[in-house]
Structure 1
């Protein structure tokens, strides 16, 4: 059953109603249902009594439902739904609109400045008038309405799941003042932030939030990927309990916020449970965004499997592992050039032991942060060489660190993929493989394809070809725009 097309959209109301009746988690976040008799909009998985068909209106995005006057359900909580990401290699208008949405969704794309339509249009190289027209055609709301919904849903989640003060919730959700936050909340939701907190029950101890995903999801494969690459002191994976914990430092407004986080899976509810330390409270929205990217929680398995199932029938639950930070991932990608995963982990361990800052956590095995860009930017060649890192990779690591420290290079999901890959390849020691790998895992580009990867050649059976990279590239044409997922499936199939 398909209730909507992969791109924007023509919802099929009758099909959506069937998904709603079945509470089908595969459609979670792909549409929302507004109930005219209550004025509330819900996720397809909401456990309340199914409304009558004639009382239902269906929307592609939460922003559309709110623009139509509906309030979010306090039971199913639309802010927990995985986002609906669409990709195209043909429709220029759709590409522009979705890139704009990605920038609005990515807090790190704006440093310390709040996004505006003018700044967003300038970033995309179009006029603000053209951007508004394309965005409203694609999403049915203006860019500012879209951003307003994202901010309010972020605030709603923090109010319901944490004990953060209302003032702090307002600031970390992107509001310049508590007064504006209270006014927006009252206008859209018809109640004050403190009333919502009472409606949601008493706050949980500590900072704990839930993040939704769409099934199928191969949890063991994802955690296995991270376990094989885990650096002692920085991260630990408990496969038996299906959990992961690690340290993290996030820069925001010129300050470094450091701490630890732990995740576990609630399989029955199709949710990831995130617990973050006190030191990360002020940057919780950024942490949530990074964790969603790390575990690829916003992937749409139906769209991906439609393109890849025939070639990789055993990989329908696989996701593309991301990273908590693009800079860290880039350094680890350089360390992994042309060597095994185990050898790369050994080099990364030495790097952390030598340059990583110590940190105290309640988890006995977590006591180090990954070395910051500022630290590695000043690293002398001899110091890196003593760790067993060859000269070419020394130059690449220092080059990445300096570019990130100088803010001439950003590595997150809101970046322009083509421009960022070009910038990476202009650094010493960065070639096509490394740039593609960074694009796949740090930039969250679903169509990245490291055609020169030896393990990929073996998995695709082209390792004996005269030009294996060209053969792999040709074979990948049928998998666009999901070649990153094809790579993961090919690697997994070769190792299983």
Structure 2
């Protein structure tokens, strides 16, 4: 995939390829020469992206009673918190294929071109600074509906102005509240961004319908009561509720995996 990071007044761009080697329990990382100057930072980002610093045994000790068959399941992070947040917004209430199409249009129109040896990688994901300057109409021409336009523009402007930070080490609870204060971003999206971009191991989108099904609380009289029941059940899984969410989604039968499909979509591209 492509990668871009700004340090001071210098923007470093390039590409990378990560390949799992199961028989060696290794990940082999190939990086373009243009990124060698930020290699230590990039390696830290990749480790977070692939959740390589997790302690599966410690996590499983807390979760094994409810989720005995998912030991070792990791929570994917991201190389770019802004990209992940935009993709999460684009994926709201639409199919995986439709979300991918919208994200690709965004990249094709507003992403800077980049040369790579990988035919499919020709542009960078547009930065917050670029999208912050756009109008809603510019996004609307790509097929992005009004609510998502407002959310993406608000995200871009908040990050570009420094009012919001979406990376590991950012203050979790204030960031979640800041995200929820933006138009078009509710608790599910904010918790999901915290889970992956902020690397918060205890995120829990209590209102997620697929999660309700996985936890067996979907028959509550309404979504609010189902959410309260899910939240109550989750207290036993602290401080690893992000991992519990992925284990719960993984238990769903194929026809019920709408949310799980969305996380796979975003994980593949972010």
| TM-score normalized with structure 1 length | 0.49
2:242 pairs, out of 464, 484, 489, with: 484
Separation in 2 of the partners of 1:372 and 1:429?
A: 20
* Distance (whole Å) between structure 2 residues aligned to residue 283 and residue 253 of structure 1: 12
The answer on 1:406 being equivalent to 2:161 is: yes
**Partner of residue 369 from structure 1, selected from 120, 124, 132:** 124
Rounded Cα–Cα distance in structure 2 between residues aligned with 1:342 and 1:477: 34
Q: What CA distance in whole angstroms lies between the structure 2 residues aligned with 1:469 and 1:346?
A: 31
**Any idea what SS the aligned residue of 1:258 has?**
strand
CA distance in 1 between partners of 2:155 and 2:57 (Å): 36
Cα RMSD between the aligned structures? Answer: 1.4
Give the SS at the match of 1:257: strand
Deviations 1:2-28 (A, max 9, x none): xxxxxxxxxxxxxxxxxxxxxxxxxxx
Residue 76 (structure 2) pairs with residue 321 (structure 1): yes
Provide the secondary structure at the position in 1 that maps to 2:120. Answer: coil
Which residues of 2 match residues 58-97 of structure 1 at below 5 A?
Answer: none
Q: Deviations over 1:233-279 (max 9, x none)?
A: xxxxxxxxxxxxx0111111221111000111233443211111011
Partner SS for 1:489: helix
Query: Of 211, 236, 239, which aligns to 1:456?
Result: 211
Q: Secondary structure at the match of 2:252?
A: helix
Give the superposition deviation at 1:317.
2.0
Verify the 8 A CA contact 1:294 1:323 in the aligned structure 2.
Answer: yes
Aligned mates of 1:388, 1:450 — CA distance in 2: 27
SS in 1 for 2:202: coil
**After superposition, what is the alpha-carbon deviation per residue over 1:257-302, rounded to whole angstroms, capped at 9, x for unaligned?**
1100011123344321111101111111221111011100000001
Whole-Å Cα distance in 1 between the matches of residues 182 and 206 of structure 2?
Answer: 20
Deviations 1:322-370 (A, max 9, x none): 1101111111111122233333222212221221221110112211111
Q: Is the 8 A contact 1:252 1:283 kept in 2?
A: no
Q: TM-score, normalised by structure 2?
A: 0.89
SS at 1:427 equivalent: coil
| Alpha-carbon distance in structure 2 between the residues aligned to 1:439 and 1:485 | 13
Following superposition, the deviation at residue 476 of structure 1 comes to 1.0
SS in 2 for 1:363: coil
Query: Cα deviations across residues 139-181 of structure 1 (Å, max 9, x unaligned)?
Result: xxxxxxxxxxxxxxxxxxxxxxxxxxxxxxxxxxxxxxxxxxx
Higher relative contact order (CA 8 A, sep 6+): 2
The residue number in structure 2 matching 1:441 is: 196
Residue pairs, 1:153-302, within 5 angstroms: 246-302=1-57
Answer whether contact 1:439 1:448 (CA < 8 A) is retained: yes
Q: What 5-or-longer segments of structure 1 have no aligned partner?
A: 1-245
Deviation at 1:314, TM superposition (A): 1.9
Normalized per residue, which structure has more helix?
A: 2
Paired with 1:422 and 1:490, the residues of 2 have a C-alpha distance of 25
Q: Aligned in 2, Cα 1:283/1:407: closer, same or farther, shift over 3 Å?
A: same
Larger Rg: 1 or 2?
A: 1
Q: Across the two proteins, how many residue pairs are aligned to each other?
A: 251
Matches within 5 A, 1:328-343: 328-343=83-98
Compute the displacement of 1:388 (Å): 2.0
Partner Cα separation in structure 1 for residue 217 and residue 76 of structure 2? 25
Q: Distance in 2 between matches of 1:480 and 1:400?
A: 29
